Amino acid sequence: MRKAYRTIIMAVLTGASLLSLTACGSKTKSSDLTPVKLNEVAHSIFYAPQYAAIELGYFEDEGIDLTLVNGAGADKVMTALISGDADIGFMGSEASIYTYANGSQDYAVNFAQLTQRAGNFLVGRSDQPDFKWTDLKGKKVLGGRAGGMPEMVFEYILKKNGINPATDLTIDQSINFGLTAAAFTSNDADYTVEFEPFATGLEKEGNGFVVASLGVDSGYIPYTAYSAKKSYLEKNPATIQKFTNAIQKGLEYVNSHTSEEIAKVIQPQFKETDVKTIAAIVDRYKAQDTWKKDTVFNKDSFELLENILEEAGQLKDRVPYENLVITEYSEKAAK
């Protein structure tokens, strides 16, 4: 995985453009607002606080004109961030560790954490109310990219349950991020690991059943965070503070409102999904304590992340927390 990020850095330095941007986001535009381009790892109800902040106008209130881009994968988000195609990246913090470890001088620093649980679910072919992780032995599962948080958390759970990911089952990692649900409907796999709304979509179509939550079974994990290049942080501290303030307001909204209320607010971000379905998904995430109360990225969480990377064979030398995480903006936003 570190080799992949080394390739990303080299491509950026040679001027390669690896990402096609599609913008969406802020409802109003004004020359008085500071433009900020945010590249997210995926567009999922898992990130409801962010969309609540957008739809409730919290970014505009803070003086930010936000452009939201779906990067479709942490590696692509980091590419956009390093190249300058994005101001802020939203992804698993493993990407910042890989980039730092590969020698980038203007590396990405994490300044705010959003989720504290994994947001994906294990979907099977049939309903299994008594599912056990050992049921996966000998089975085929559509997994995620090697070195990415979804796959590493999945393997972390397998190992916790005495399952060897390399020998006790087959994990198909050949399908691109976001396309596994579609592939599952015509694939010979027994299970697939899916984010929302794809997990619920498979259930509604009658093509699958959610049998387990990776967020519940992995425990509290620093799953996704916001980062910016060191140079951007140094030049734009006021913008970073305003951005963090808006995300904090989004967190406070989802942690103090019902799933139905949240669904109505964020529905414009998911026009293809009806409000009732969005509410059910939000409720599922609320039930497993997905979202933090504040955006502070604590040291113990970062060290847990490095433990997972080491266990997955993706990290040779540990990276100092103080180099890749800054908490001052989150601490001010939470006051």
Q: What is the mean pLDDT of residues 145-164?
A: 89
| Strands 140-142 vs 170-172: parallel, antiparallel or unpaired | parallel
Examine the pLDDT at 17 and tell me if it is beyond 60: no
Mean of all residue pLDDT scores within the chain: 88
CA distance 161 to 292: 26
Q: What is the pLDDT of residue 101?
A: 85
Residue 73 pLDDT level (bands cut at 50, 70, 90): confident
- Tokens 């989150």 correspond to 330
Q: What digits encode the pLDDT tens for the residues 34-70?
A: 999 999 998 999 999 999 999 999 999 999 999 999 9
Q: What is the pLDDT of residue 31?
A: 65
Predicted structure pTM score: 0.84
Q: What is the pLDDT of residue 197?
A: 85
Beta strand ranges found along the chain (DSSP E)? 23-25, 34-40, 64-70, 88-91, 108-115, 120-124, 140-142, 170-172, 191-195, 209-213, 224-229
Q: What is the pLDDT of residue 71?
A: 87
CA distance 297 to 259: 25
